[in-house]
Amino acid sequence: MQPPLPQELIDEIIDRMQDNILALRECSLVARSFLPSSRKHLYSHVIIFQSGIDAPLPNCFVGSKFTCQSLYNLLREDFFPVAPLVKFLSIQDGLEGTPGYLVHREKVRFPFILNLLRNLQRVSISSHRGSLSWDANETPLTSFLETFRSPSLTSLDLDNLTFSSFEGIARILYECSPTVRHLSLNYITIFSRDINIERLRAKYDGRHLCLESLRLVEDDLGLISRFILHEFSPLRIDCLRELSITSNRHNSLARLVASTRDTLEHLDFFVNHNGNAPDPPHLSNLIR
């Protein structure tokens, strides 16, 4: 009988195939010794979406699909816990609205699933239909806050979300784990242009995130820049190393770059403009 492979060798073999989902599935069936390493990669990224939403997943998606009930049961499995393996959580369209939208037909409350995910390193929330709307005190937002507090969370992506005021997005950033270093804000819509976040600043006693990288995709850079540069903002960019901006206008760009002081190492700026886009004013004086 052939001697069993050392576990270290098995782990190395599996790690080399971590991007090949089909191969990982087959490896997980080879022997019990292959199961832990295979599952570590198979369940590292979980995408949650509502059934019936048009094309919420990439065409190349080859992962397994679960209902809320089956995913909940899997995460709570005693034989080999899966919940600690989930490092990247993507939440797609279809979770907006009243708490009723957060209940699957099996009656498993969506927040119950979130409460099991304590080792997240990255969270991405997107609404490609532009219909995910939150207020500072609404139940959907409250349900997600515990997820943002994961002590291992380093990256947060918010895409095409709508807030009635800056309090909603400020609350997310104040509440999320201080370990977050990478933030992406893409097409964030704020109905109120008044940045009234002083009350939150007092509540959270000056808590803030020290970002290393920031990505902004906005039609008008001005409003979100006012929030980032506000004296009570939950964000600090004076230690920023990477800044990426895509916008129809370059207003406030120079102020953002200047606020990074001397720490900025990489700057990407893309402007959507009909015709020749003028150089951002005074930007050349800020780049050394």
Structure token pair of residue 114: 């979130």
HSE-up (13 A, CA, CB side) for residue 128? 12
- Is residue 48 within 8 A of residue 113, CB to CB? The reply is yes
Strands (E), the chain: 45-48, 88-91, 122-126, 132-134, 155-159, 161-163, 182-186, 189-190, 209-210, 213-218, 235-236, 242-247, 266-271
**pLDDT level of residue 140 (50, 70, 90 thresholds):** low
Residue-averaged pLDDT of the chain: 74
Phi and psi at 132, nearest 5°, equal -90, 105
- Is residue 218 within 8 A of residue 224, CB to CB? The reply is yes
Question: Does residue 11 register a pLDDT over 70?
Answer: no
pLDDT in tens, 157-216: 998 888 888 888 888 888 889 999 999 999 888 887 787 777 777 777 778 899 999 999
Question: Does residue 268 register a pLDDT over 80?
Answer: yes
Q: Phi-psi region for residue 275, left (φ > 0), alpha (ψ -120 to 50) or beta?
A: left
What DSSP designation does 274 have? S
Structure token pair of residue 38: 């295979």
The counts of H helices and E strands in the chain are 10, 13
* 3-class DSSP assignment, residue 242: strand
Is domain 43-52+63-276 given the CATH code 3.80.10 in the classification? yes
* 3-class DSSP assignment, residue 15: helix
Smallest CA-to-CA distance from 75 within 67, 83, 63, 87 is with 83
What per-residue confidence (pLDDT) applies to 3?
Answer: 54
pLDDT in tens, 54-100: 444 554 455 567 777 788 888 887 777 888 889 898 887 645 433 33
* 3-class DSSP assignment, residue 130: coil
Task: Give the 3-state secondary structure percentages of the chain, helix then strand then coil, rounded to 5.
Answer: 35, 20, 50
What percent of the chain is predicted at pLDDT more than 70? 61
What per-residue confidence (pLDDT) applies to 172?
Answer: 87
Our CA dihedral for 58, 62, 67, 71, rounded to 10 degrees, sits at: -110
pLDDT in tens, 21-31: 566 565 555 55
What per-residue confidence (pLDDT) applies to 22?
Answer: 60
Smallest CA-to-CA distance from 118 within 71, 182, 177 is with 177
CA separation for the pair 216, 182 (Å, rounded): 11
Structure token pair of residue 167: 């309090």
Structure token pair of residue 12: 């190395």
Instruction: For residue 103, give Cα distances in angstroms to 97, 111, 250.
Output: 11, 9, 42
- Is residue 196 within 8 A of residue 166, CB to CB? The reply is yes
